[in-house]
C-alpha cells in the first residue's frame, strides 16, 4: 500500500487510469538497469527515478569531462573528474530519496552483465551506450537471460529507438537487424566524440526510452517493441520499421540450439 507521501509525490501519474495505485506499486517493486549514463542515460534515469521505479542500477566506467556538459544533463561543472555512476546516483537520490540507487563504476562486460541478470534479478535493461560492441553484448546477455531491453542511439541529428521482450520465444533481437561484425572487421568507432551530436535530440530519445521502460513495467503496449523507431531532429519526423526474426541471426540460432 502506498504511503500518504507517495500518493502525494506520484499523484499526477496515479491519476492516469493505466497507472493508478496498482501501477505505482508495480513501479515501486521494479528493478531496472541503465547501462551508459551519458546523453541518453541522463534523461532516461532522471525520469525513471522521478516516476518512482523502486531500484535503479547505474552502470558507467567513465568520469565526467567538461565536453560532456553540453548534453549530459545529470552533471554540473563541479562534477568534473568524478565517476559518472557515483554522481548520477547522488543526483537521483537527491531527486527521489524513496528509491534505491546502486552505482556500478565499471563498463558492462559480458561476464559481469550475465551475472547481474542471472535468475531474473532485473526486470528491464536500458541500453544507453554509444559503443557498438557493448550494444551487442547487452543484446546477447539480455536474450539469453530473457530480460527485456530498450535500446537507443543518437548520431548528429538522427536517433534510433527499439525494444525487445526476450521473455517471448518469438522475439527478434538487435543482431537480427544489425549483425555483429567479425572482430577483424570492426568498423571505426562512431560516437558523439567522433561525429558530434545535438544535445536536445539525446534528450528526446532518452526520454522516449524512459517512456517505453515505464510502459514495459506497467504492462502497457510498447510502441517500439520489435519496431525500429527512427527520429530526425532536423525535420522533427519519426519513421518506423517492423522487425522480425532473422533466420541467419547467430544469437537467435544459438538460443534455438540450446532449447533443442
Kindly list the catalytic residues.
Answer: 192
CA distances from 29 to 8, 52, 78, 79, 207 (A): 18, 9, 33, 31, 21
Q: Which residues are 158's β-sheet partners? A: 155, 232
Cell readout for 197 is: 551530436
Backbone angles phi, psi at 118, to 5 degrees: -65, 140
CA 22 to chain centre: 24
| Ranges assigned E (strand) in 119-244 | 124-127, 149-155, 158-164, 227-232, 237-242
Helix, strand, coil percentages for the chain (3-state, nearest 5): 45, 20, 35
Amino acid at each position: 500500500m502506498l504511503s500518504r507521501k507517495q500518493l502525494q509525490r506520484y499523484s499526477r501519474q496515479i491519476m492516469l487510469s493505466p497507472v493508478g495505485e496498482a501501477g505505482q506499486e508495480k513501479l515501486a517493486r521494479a528493478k531496472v538497469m541503465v547501462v551508459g549514463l551519458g546523453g541518453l542515460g541522463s534523461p532516461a534515469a532522471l525520469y525513471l527515478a522521478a516516476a518512482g521505479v523502486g531500484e535503479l542500477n547505474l552502470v558507467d566506467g567513465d568520469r565526467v569531462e567538461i565536453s560532456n556538459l553540453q548534453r549530459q544533463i545529470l552533471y554540473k561543472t563541479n562534477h568534473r573528474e568524478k565517476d559518472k555512476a557515483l554522481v548520477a546516483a547522488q543526483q537521483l537520490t537527491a531527486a527521489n530519496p524513496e528509491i534505491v540507487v546502486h552505482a556500478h563504476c565499471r563498463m558492462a562486460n559480458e561476464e559481469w552483465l550475465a551475472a547481474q541478470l542471472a535468475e531474473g534479478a532485473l526486470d528491464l535493461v536500458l541500453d544507453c551506450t554509444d559503443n557498438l560492441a557493448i550494444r551487442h553484448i547487452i543484446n546477447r546477455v539480455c536474450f539469453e537471460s530473457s530480460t527485456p531491453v530498450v535500446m537507443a542511439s543518437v548520431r548528429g541529428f538522427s536517433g534510433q529507438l527499439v525494444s525487445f521482450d526476450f521473455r517471448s520465444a518469438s522475439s527478434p533481437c538487435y543482431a537480427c537487424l544489425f549483425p555483429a561484425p567479425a572482430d577483424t572487421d570492426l568498423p571505426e568507432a562512431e560516437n558523439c566524440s567522433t561525429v558530434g551530436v545535438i544535445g536536445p535530440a539525446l534528450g528526446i530519445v532518452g526520454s522516449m526510452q524512459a517512456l517505453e521502460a515505464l510502459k514495459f513495467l506497467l504492462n502497457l503496449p510498447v510502441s517500439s517493441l520489435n519496431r525500429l523507431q527512427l527520429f530526425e531532429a532536423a525535420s522533427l519526423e519519426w519513421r518506423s520499421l517492423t522487425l522480425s526474426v532473422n533466420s541467419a541471426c547467430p544469437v537467435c540460432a544459438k538460443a534455438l540450439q540450446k532449447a533443442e
